Amino acid sequence: MPAKGGEMANSKVKLITSLGEIELEVFDDRTPVTAANFLDYVRAGFYDGTIFHRVIPGFVAQGGGFVPGMEQKRTKDPIVNEAAKGPSNTRGTLSMARTPHPDSATSQFFINFSDNTSLDYRGPGPGAGYCVFAQVIKGMDVVDAMAAVPTGRRPPHADVPKEDIVVIAAKIL
């Protein structure tokens, strides 16, 4: 959709969760590969029924890869890490989760509960950072409610909410 000046407006996505709704602005303009990857998963209905499987108050809520019972979903191939292009990992931003390999992100993402600039790009290799691809524009109260949910262990996982926080649906607005 065109914005002022003929530029393309960034996409908007609504996450309807068991705790309430979160509206996101996706940075199509700054992190096009990562944004397209996330939007493709949304269009496919991939996130519907997934859970936030890792919640660490003061740090992040991670989701996008597991369903209730901690069963991991099958994903598409990994994408290139665009962390050098994205903004900083500040409160309310979303970043792609990945393994230690920089170009390993698939569907999982996390929402920053606080400013986590230590996760920003610092150079190739171990400093590759985590790509910020979106930000919360409505529903930070829902994000904050996630941080208050009691967590425990579901071996081999830690910091798992004792009561599932479910993404009922993810929709492009």
Q: Is 50 exceeded by the pLDDT of residue 147?
A: yes
Going by the DSSP 8-state scheme, the letter that residue 42 receives in this structure is H
Write the pLDDT tens digit of every residue in 86-117: 899 999 999 999 999 999 999 999 999 999 99
CB 24 within 8 A of CB 167: no
Q: Decide: 145 and 20 in contact? Cβ < 8 Å.
A: yes
CA distance 143 to 110: 11
Neighbours of 54 (CB within 10 A): 21
| pLDDT tens-digit series, residues 118-129 | 999 999 887 899
Distance CA 22, CA 139 (A): 4
